[in-house]
Structure 1
Amino acid sequence: MSLRTRDTVLRELMDDPDCDPARLAATLRRFDTVNRLIGGWGRVWERHLAPVLRGLDRPARVLDVGSGGGDVIVRLADRAEREGLRVEWLGIDPDERALDVARERERSNVTFAATDAAALRATGIRFDAVLSNHVLHHLGDADLAGFADDTAALTAGPVFHADIERGRLAYALYSVGITPLQHGTFLRTDGLRSIRRSHRADELQAALGG
């Protein structure tokens, strides 16, 4: 196995429409713990997103593209509520299986819909900020620029894309660290495949024309 280049041929088990639904649901629910440990969204909130939302003189609207099980925006919604910010949160994902799990977390100001960034862009709707978590490594380079363009068009504000960076240290640490959480899920296999599919920073910049 080489990590020198992206392995875009690899497919995550959870992307198989015929995968075990119980293991898929368990994986999506356990992403909450994984993202708390390695996601970095607390720092994004404190340094970037919260200051933008505080600067508005009205309730804000934030979009999560490829929201999966919904844990990221639910956690951000909790943070916003504790800090007295009025925010409407929408998570979108084309996979109804993921939405089944995400909708367990719905509340009055956090909702989920079966669509994608391109389709939502076509409606003309706009948000105050857009985010995605661990979506970019699912995309081939041919689709990446279009995704970036679609998400940017959905807001006049900031866009935050968080993803894995391919590397031997990340691969080694994840392969060991995920062990206590992997039972009954696809977390180990899919996480390691995700690392192998992911970009390095310079590759991502080049793919986006930066």
Structure 2
Amino acid sequence: MGILLRTRAAGAVEQMDRADCDARLLDNTYRQFWVINRVLSGWRRLYRTELRTAAASQQRPLTVLDIGSGGGDLAVMLARWAERDGRPIHVTGIDPDPRAAAFARRRPAIPGVDFRQAHSGDLVREGARFDVVISNHVLHHLDRAELRQLLSDSEILATRKALHNDLIRSPAAFALFSVAALPFRKSYIRGDGLTSIRRSYTPAELAASAPPGWSVERPSAFHQVLACRKD
């Protein structure tokens, strides 16, 4: 396993990214993501330390852009947590994949959340601005040019900070997720999750790929955040 993960599997393709993947399995994957993102992705901690703190420091609702929002579960979770804390935020989720955008728009309407089929570059051209720009498990999907473009767009779109949360490639992460994902059936969760870990960066690799002004932070053993802070 260590040899398998020694180098980044940049050419590996996740099944759900294929244009001809099974639509039923894809929808099931989007439905099951909420468990993964709530329990395993570390966003509850990031919400408390980053978004709630930022929302408390200003009078108006915090505006958040979720790039590559997939089925929309993270955007909804963040908005609900903020509402419970009495710190309302407005989350805009964007995804260039029409299947993800359609699934997100089929969700029951949640105050403070909206979804679009769009690329970050579309919002840059529109002159949009947000207090905080985030993404979850997106970086490992990108090639070098796409990564640089995402970070460039994020610097333009974010007025306070950008936080890109992603996996850390390691034998421990691969082994633990292989077991933890066994209950997820009739979806792409387990297979694609393992491919995602193989495609992911080590902290040193991610730091070497990032332009000046960005830093790699490690909030947990299995996740890293590529951050650009302006405040």
TM class, shorter-chain normalised?
over 0.9
Q: RMSD of the TM alignment (CA)?
A: 1.2
Q: CA deviation at 1:87?
A: 1.8
Correspondence for 1:119? 122
Q: CA deviation at 1:108?
A: 3.3
Deviates more, 1:29-38 or 1:95-104: 95-104
Correspondence for 2:175? 172
How many residues matched?
209
The structure where strand makes up a greater share of residues is 2
Q: Secondary structure at the match of 1:57?
A: coil
Deviates more, 1:51-60 or 1:22-31: 51-60
Structure 2 residue corresponding to 1:110, chosen from 94, 110, 113: 113
Q: CA deviation at 1:105?
A: 4.1
Structure 1: 5+ residue stretches without partners: none
Give the Cα separation in 2 of the matches to 1:36 and 1:24: 19
Change over 3 Å in CA distance of 1:158–1:105 after alignment to 2: farther
Structure 2: 5+ residue stretches without partners: 213-231
Give the Cα separation in 2 of the matches to 1:111 and 1:68: 13
Provide the TM-score with structure 2 as the length reference: 0.87
Q: CA deviation at 1:44?
A: 0.8
Q: Percent identity?
A: 42
Give the Cα separation in 2 of the matches to 1:94 and 1:55: 32
Structure 2 residue corresponding to 1:22, chosen from 21, 24, 32: 24
Q: CA deviation at 1:142?
A: 2.5
The one-letter code matched in structure 1 to 2:9 is D
Change over 3 Å in CA distance of 1:74–1:152 after alignment to 2: same
Once the two structures are superposed, what CA deviation does each residue of 1:30-77 show, in whole Å capped at 9, x if it has no partner? 010011111111111111111111111112211100000111110010
Structure 1 residue corresponding to 2:199, chosen from 185, 197, 200: 197
Q: CA deviation at 1:106?
A: 3.2
The structure where helix makes up a greater share of residues is 1
Correspondence for 2:131? 128
Determine if contact 2:54/2:62 at 8 Å carries over to the other structure.
Answer: no
Give the Cα separation in 2 of the matches to 1:40 and 1:155: 21
After superposition, where does 1:11-160 map in structure 2 within 5 Å? 11-103=13-105, 104-160=107-163
Superposition misfits of 4+ residues, deviation over 4 angstroms: none
Once the two structures are superposed, what CA deviation does each residue of 1:55-106 show, in whole Å capped at 9, x if it has no partner? 1111221110000011111001001101112322100001111122212143
Q: Secondary structure at the match of 2:130?
A: coil
Give the Cα separation in 1 of the matches to 2:20 and 2:197: 23
Determine if contact 1:74/1:105 at 8 Å carries over to the other structure.
Answer: no
